[in-house]
């Protein structure tokens, strides 16, 4: 169910320190936009905890918050592309929808930092 941008920004439960995260990703865009995402994994490789740090843009905060919520709810971070994040957040100004792409890029970078495991699979 989509969440309202105003609600995600008003109470960003997943904004926090990234130290100790198993996977880290970052993406930057114009107008001084920056998002960092940290993922902590359980022994089964699933996301147990997700946190973000963003520059002060409501849409960027909202999409990062939605990404963390979805990852902790069991959605594979690799499936959290811009289209999925756009569908998860309502109320963002159309000119700021590109912020979902920044969050998706940060997630992709985090996943690309995952070390290879035995057998060559991730």
**pLDDT given for residue 1 in this prediction:** 84
Write out pLDDT tens, residues 61-119: 999 999 999 999 999 999 999 999 999 999 999 999 999 999 999 999 999 987 654 44
Domains of the chain by start residue, with CATH: 3-111 (3.90.1010.10)
| Range 107-111, long-range pairs (CB < 8 A, 24+ positions) | 107/25, 107/37, 107/67, 107/71, 107/77, 107/78, 107/80, 108/25, 108/78, 109/24, 109/25, 109/26, 109/27, 110/23, 110/24, 110/25, 110/37, 110/38, 110/39, 110/77, 111/23, 111/25, 111/77, 111/78
């Amino acid at each position: 169910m989509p969440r309202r941008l105003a609600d995600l920004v008003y109470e960003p439960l997943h904004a926090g320190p990234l130290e100790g995260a198993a996977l880290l990703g970052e993406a930057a865009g114009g107008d001084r936009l920056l998002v960092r995402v940290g993922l902590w994994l359980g022994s089964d490789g699933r996301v147990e905890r997700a946190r973000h740090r963003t520059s002060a843009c409501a849409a960027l905060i909202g999409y990062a918050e939605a990404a963390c919520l979805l990852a902790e709810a069991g959605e594979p971070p690799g499936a959290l592309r811009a289209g999925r994040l756009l569908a998860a957040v309502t109320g963002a100004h159309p000119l700021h929808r590109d912020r979902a792409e920044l969050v998706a890029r940060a997630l992709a970078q985090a996943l690309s930092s995952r070390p290879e495991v035995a057998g060559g699979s991730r």
